[in-house]
Amino acid sequence: MEHITLLIGIVIVTALVFDFTNGFHDTANAMATTISTGALGPRVAVAMSAVLNLVGAFLSVEVAKTISGGIIDEGSGIQPEVIFAGLVGAILWNLVTWLAGLPSSSSHALFGGLIGATVVSVGLDGVNGDAIVMKVLIPAVAAPIVAGIATLAATRLTYRLGRDRSPEDTAKGYRAGQIASAALVSLAHGTNDAQKTMGVITLALVTGGVVAPDSDPPLWVIVSAGLAIALGTYLGGWRIIRTMGKGITDIQPPQGFAAQTGAATVILASSHIGFALSTTQVCSGAVMGAGVGRKGAVVRWSTAGRMVVAWVLTLPAAGLVAGAAALLADQGNAGITAVAVLAVLACGAIWMLSRRKPVDHTNVNEVGIQEPVGAVTAALRSVAPPPAGAASAAPEDGTSDDTPEQTPTPIPAVASSTTR
Amino acid sequence: MSIDWAALGQVFGISLAVTVAMVGVFTLGIVGSSRKAAPEQGGTAAAMPGGAVGASPLARTGAYACFAVCAAVVAYGIYLIVA
């Protein structure tokens, strides 16, 4: 690796940063409900997920040959600048959604970034519209529905079968089962998402002529990508974990087990059949399904609505940022430097904002914050008012849940009071 | 544009069937290895695997069989990830 130019080096570093954000963005998928049901302590949970992500990165023999799965035409002179700009867009969107505590698909952010950068640099011809619909739009709609219905049915069934058992007796068993399901989700995540970064780095190396086309990624690429995603996972996106584990609905051990099993099943089934569904959307859908499936549970549709808005925005938002970055980066070395500096500044600003109200392993299970109500959610709420009568969800709560129950009192719909 | 409805339908059907089956079998295991909720509270809360008080040997054997099935499915899941 002696001939790595500065630009290729920057692309590699950026790809690893993206991998890192991918890791801490997606910790919630495997571990949010595991933490909120008390199956695992917060730190143990993220550590286990990190190890499994690392293992997963080494497991798969199938290397991501294309980074975008045919969405952009990678043969038509895609330059390292384009990859760089796309990654910057994806990273920034990942950080913004993390700040807002919203689970959104890291893959979609990466796709959006690459699409935006390609459109600016190469033109619309470089983007395959059919592939966008097939690989992004339809899975995005299908994933939460499939996972939600499967989990809903499973939750109903498990409560029905275990109806003459006391929650104290069964909680331990459910938690054990949930840990197994969460482990599967983590492992699958490591295999899929670390591969993506390896693909990006390998593509950058190929375009720089460092490695031969169609070659497997060098070992150091596999190791660094695995470590980046594991480190990100270990640090944990606590904001997103809180939203998924507590914000959408209050998860009890049977629900957590059903949701995590549903998520693992859908992820494995879909990737095995070849209709890959986004992990994030599968897990969010499963949590919602588990919430609907238990009698007396309250699903906070306002939170769910904000999540859906984030999903819809992911592709265009990451694309816009990446497009702007590509515009700058095309101006030569000065432009690339400017993009890098601006990206670092933006990341720093988001980090500073997050410190104002930090969420970490100590307060991840506390939900009592008044959520700012945006115009969209206010509208959504007026269409579908939450079942306010079922506020006292499950009084005989067997879990050690000493956090104050957030009653879904109708917060006055002051349009987008940003109290963060 | 061709949407692969067959694959989507397959994903949906298999996911639904496997999820419900897995959760159902596991729940049967839990039910089999724990005792009925008695009106009087207290006693051993240890539900599984060894400390199941009140579960008949038959129920307990069935419960272990259920857990074994779940373990096999998890192993198959790992196989799917690796392969």
Residues of B in contact with A153 (CB under 8 A): 16, 19-20
Question: How close are the terminal C-alpha atoms of chain A, in Å?
Answer: 46
Ranges in chain A, pLDDT < 70: 1-4, 60-70, 73-77, 214, 367-420
Stretch B2-8: mean pLDDT: 78
Position A75 scores a pLDDT of: 64
The residue among B55 and A79 whose pLDDT is bigger is A79
Q: What is the pLDDT of residue A317?
A: 93
The answer to whether the CB of A89 falls within 8 A of the CB of A71 is no
Which residues in chain A (271-310) have CB-CB distances under 8 A to chain B? Answer: 271-275, 277
Taking residues B61-80, report their average pLDDT.
89
Those of residues 11-50 in A touching chain B at CB distance below 8 A are: none
For an interface test with A, which of B14, B18, B19 has the most A Cβ atoms less than 10 Å from its Cβ? B19
Residue of chain A whose Cα is closest to the Cα of B27: A158
Residue A51: CB atoms within 10 A of its CB come to 17
Nearest to A138 among B3, B19, B78 (CB): B3
Q: Is the distance from CB of A94 to CB of A350 less than 8 angstroms?
A: no
A341: phi then psi, degrees, rounded to nearest 5: -65, -45
Instruction: Please tell me whether residue A230 adopts helix, strand or coil conformation.
Output: helix
Q: How far is CA A405 from CA A102, A110, A298, B43, in A?
A: 21, 37, 11, 29
Q: Convert A109-155 into a string of H (helix), E (strand) and C (coil).
A: HHHHHHHHHHHHHCCHHHECHHHHHHHHHHHHHHHHHHHHHHHHHHH
Look at A154 and B37 and tell me if their CB atoms are within 8 Å. Answer: no
Q: How far is CA A291 from CA A152, A157, A247, A298, B79, in A?
A: 8, 14, 11, 7, 30
The SS3 call for residue A72 is: strand
CA-closest candidate to residue A110, choices A227, A190, A15, A225:
A15
- Partners of A72 in the beta sheet? A127
Residue-range domain boundaries for chain A: 6-365
- Shortest CA distance to A248 belongs to which of A30, A27, A33? A33
Whether the bond into B49 is cis, omega within 30 of 0: yes
Number of C-beta neighbours around residue A420 at 10 A: 13
Q: What is the pLDDT of residues A122-171, one digit of tens each?
A: 888 878 877 778 777 888 888 899 999 999 999 999 999 888 888 877 88
The residue in chain A having the minimum alpha-carbon distance to the alpha carbon of residue B36 is A165
Q: Collect all residues from B whose CB is shorter than 8 A from any CB in A.
A: 1, 3-4, 7-8, 10-12, 14-16, 18-20, 22-24, 26-31, 33-37, 45-48, 70, 74, 77-78, 80-82
Mutation target vs A (from B27, B28, B64, B76; most A CBs, 10 A cutoff): B27
CB contact under 8 A, B18 and A265: yes
**Contact between B23 and A274 using a beta-carbon 8 Å cutoff:** no
What are the sequence ranges of the domains in chain B? 54-83
A interface mutation test: which of B2, B23, B41 has the most A CBs within 10 A?
B23
The pLDDT, as a whole number, for residue A77 is 63
Cβ separation of A161 and B11 shorter than 8 Å?
no
**What is the model's pLDDT at position A18?**
93
Cα–Cα dist B83/A274, whole Å: 14
Find where tokens 């890291």 sit. Answer: A106
**Is A174 in Cβ contact with B81 (below 8 Å)?**
no
Taking only the tens place, the pLDDT of each residue in A55-107 is 988 886 565 655 656 677 666 667 788 889 999 999 999 999 998 888 888 88
- Closest partner residue to A269 (CB to CB) among B3, B15, B33 is B15
Number of H helices, E strands in chain B: 2, 0
Handedness of CA A74, A88, A20, A374 (dihedral sign): negative
Residue A127: beta bridge partners?
A: A72
Give the pLDDT confidence score for residue A358 in this predicted structure: 81
| Minimal Cβ distance to B47: which of A155, A170, A177 | A170
Which one of B8, B16, B74 has the shortest CB-CB distance to A153?
A: B16
Contact across the interface for B30 and A270, Cβ inside 8 Å: no
Which residue from A276, A239, A236 is spatially nearest to A103, judged by alpha carbons? A239
Q: Which residue of B has its CA nearest to A58?
A: B82
Question: How far is residue A141's CA from residue A281's CA, in Å, rounded to a whole number?
Answer: 9
- Token pair 């104050």 is found at A404
Give the other-Cβ count within 10 Å of A186's Cβ.
Answer: 29
**CB–CB of A165 and B36 under 8 A?**
yes
Which of B2, B10, B12, B15 to mutate: most A Cβ within 10 Å? B15
Q: Do A180 and B70 touch (CB under 8 A)?
A: yes
Position A68 scores a pLDDT of 59
Closest CA to A22 of A151, A254, A154, A189: A189
Of B54, B45, B55, the closest CA to residue A171 belongs to B45
Q: Do A277 and B1 touch (CB under 8 A)?
A: no
Q: What are phi and psi of A72, to 5 degrees?
A: -110, 150
Taking CB atoms and an 8 Å cut-off, how many pairs form between chains A and B? 139
pLDDT score for A169: 79
Chain B residues within an 8 Å CB radius of A276 = none
CA-derived radius of gyration, chain B: 18
Per DSSP, the three-state class of B62 is helix
